[in-house]
Amino acid sequence: MRKGILIWVTVFLFTFLLGLAAWAADKPPVKIGVVQPLTGQGANVAKSWLEGMNLAVNMINKEGGILGGRKVEMVVEDDQCIPAQSIAATKKLIHEDKLKVILAAMCSSATIADVPITKEAGVVQIVSLSFADSITEMGNPLLFRTCTTNKILADGMAYKIAQEFKVKSMAFYSINDDYGRGLVEQTKSIFEKLGTPKVLFEGFFEFNDRDFSAPLTKMKGLKPEGLYLVARFPQNAQILNQMAELGFKSKLFGPINLVADDCIGAAGKNVEGAYGVVNWANELDTAGAKKYVNAFKAKYGKFPEDDFSMCGYTGTMVSAMGIDKAGTDQDPQKIGEALRKLKWDSPNGPLSFDAKGQGTIKVYVVQVKNGQRVLLK
């Protein structure tokens, strides 16, 4: 009888030790959810974004991971920039994968659709590449935005157009979604407040439009001195090329997308001289920026391309730091608290969050010169 117990105890102890050894050797990774448009409109932007994300994951894991040596792993879902798809992807990450921190999404309209889902489930949502102002106004206490907003972008460019470049008349041509409409609205309201420039034209197009000749011909007739263009790739390049085909010239202004590498590559000389309001320029030399550029060059053998990889990097870093500082990847409340207290030297500059979860982000104005973005002082 006593011998039997002894055998059982030995077997139990042995199994326990074996399990412990296995656990120590291979701690489960910390999983973070990602919803991005891997296909469809925005796929190109997401590619750059994922580069930045992978860079951050690499750096974290190389330095020994988080939560006492656990590696970070991203679970990526495709939402094609479609709000309904985005909701499905977010729900999958929350309910099937049981993740507590989710980076969602890219297209503002998709992100806006995701907010009620994460709010109801009580998980942390990190927004790293959606600019619509309403996202941080939707009352999700666990939402943090690590990128700029339409308002910040509009402020960064509109005053320059009116006061520094002294443009007298403007046309707006934009994608018909929350990002485009929001940015046009914000910029226009600043022009109205200043009383200059005069807005001659305001038009919107759909994401599947390819023929812009009719609106561009109309704009050509109105002769605006400047054109504010809000379009993602490839539409921005197509619009610029069709402008040249129709002989319509205007000073070009726009957000990040207009001066991003994909657009410069496809539009060539037709985007020369364009002004863009951006979050990132290779000339930035803060400590956070240097660290990012060096790591990027070491991994990919080139300079960071545009804002998008920086946004992916920042969002991923912030998510990992939140989990690490909270000491858990299972308690969204604690992670939220840690993020509220976070202070970090991001590539863009010192980053912390306000009461609504909006990060402090600076914008810069660049100009395309000889196919390169040049930072304006």
Partner 1 sequence: MSSFLFQKMELFLQQLVNGLVIGIIYSLVAIGLTVIYGIFDIINMTQGTFFMIGAFAAYFLTKNLGVSYFLSIPLAMIITGVMGILVERSSVRTLRGQQNIVFLLSTMGLMVLLENLALVLWGATPRQLPSPFAPEPVVFLGVFLTRQKIFLFLCATVMILLVKRFIKGSRLGRSMRAVATDQNTAALMGIDVNRVFIATFGIGAGLSAAAGVLLGPIFDIEPAMGHLTLIKAFIVVIMGGMGNITGAFYCGLILGVAESMGAGYINVDYKDAFGLIIMILVLLFRPQGLLGKGGLR
Q: Work out how close the CB of 209 gets to partner 1 at its nearest, in angstroms, rounded to a whole number.
A: 8
Count the site residues for partner 1 by CB under 8 A: 28
Residue closer to partner 1, measured from CB, 46 or 320 = 46
Asked if residue 350 has a cis previous peptide bond (ω within 30° of 0), the answer is no
Is residue 48 involved in binding partner 1 (CB under 8 A)? no
Long-range contacts of 55-61 (CB under 8 A, 24+ apart): 55/295, 55/296, 55/299, 55/300, 55/309, 55/312, 55/313, 56/312, 56/313, 56/316, 56/317, 56/320, 57/316, 58/299, 59/295, 60/317, 60/320
Q: Work out how close the CB of 221 gets to partner 1 at its nearest, in angstroms, rounded to a whole number.
A: 4
Is residue 211 involved in binding partner 1 (CB under 8 A)? yes
Is residue 234 involved in binding partner 1 (CB under 8 A)? yes
Q: Work out how close the CB of 260 gets to partner 1 at its nearest, in angstroms, rounded to a whole number.
A: 14
Q: Which of 39, 163, 189, 352 binds partner 1 (CB under 8 A)?
A: 39
Taking CB under 8 A as the binding criterion, the range among 95-103, 118-126, 203-211, 302-310 that sits at the site for partner 1 is 203-211
Is residue 221 involved in binding partner 1 (CB under 8 A)? yes
The interface mask with partner 1, positions 253-282, x = CB under 8 A, is -------------x----------------
Decide if 134 contacts 178 (C-beta within 8 A): yes
End-to-end CA distance of the chain: 86
The pair of structure tokens assigned to 188 is 């226009």
Is residue 238 involved in binding partner 1 (CB under 8 A)? yes
> CB count, 10 Å around CB of 12?
10
Is residue 245 involved in binding partner 1 (CB under 8 A)? yes
Is residue 299 involved in binding partner 1 (CB under 8 A)? no
Q: Which of residues 152-191 bind partner 1 (CB under 8 A)?
A: 176
3-state secondary structure 106-157: CCHHHHHHHHHHHHHHCCEEEECCCCCHHHHHCCCCCEEECCCCHHHHHHHH
Residue 375: what are its φ and ψ, rounded to 5°? -70, 130
Q: Work out how close the CB of 208 gets to partner 1 at its nearest, in angstroms, rounded to a whole number.
A: 6
Q: Which of 5, 247, 302, 370 binds partner 1 (CB under 8 A)?
A: 247
Q: Work out how close the CB of 140 gets to partner 1 at its nearest, in angstroms, rounded to a whole number.
A: 30
Is residue 244 involved in binding partner 1 (CB under 8 A)? yes
Q: Which of 95, 166, 210, 297 binds partner 1 (CB under 8 A)?
A: 210
Is residue 44 involved in binding partner 1 (CB under 8 A)? yes
Is residue 249 involved in binding partner 1 (CB under 8 A)? no
Decide if 337 contacts 44 (C-beta within 8 A): no
The residue written with tokens 């403007």 in the block is 170
With a CB cutoff of 8 Å and minimum separation 6, the contacts of 188 are 172, 199, 202
The rounded distance, in Å, linking the Cα atoms of 300 and 51 is 9
Is residue 325 involved in binding partner 1 (CB under 8 A)? no
Taking CB under 8 A as the binding criterion, the range among 57-65, 120-128, 242-250, 364-372 that sits at the site for partner 1 is 242-250
With a CB cutoff of 8 Å and minimum separation 6, the contacts of 164 are none
Q: Which helix (H) or strand (E) holds 276?
A: strand 275-278
Is residue 85 involved in binding partner 1 (CB under 8 A)? no
Three-state DSSP class for residue 69: coil
Q: Would you call 266 exposed, middle or buried from its count of C-beta atoms within 10 A (0-12, 13-18, 19+)?
A: middle
Taking CB under 8 A as the binding criterion, the range among 82-90, 216-224, 323-331, 351-359 that sits at the site for partner 1 is 216-224
**Which residues of the shown chain bind partner 1 in the complex (CB under 8 A)?**
39-40, 43-44, 176, 203-206, 208-211, 213-215, 217-218, 220-221, 234, 238, 241, 244-247, 266
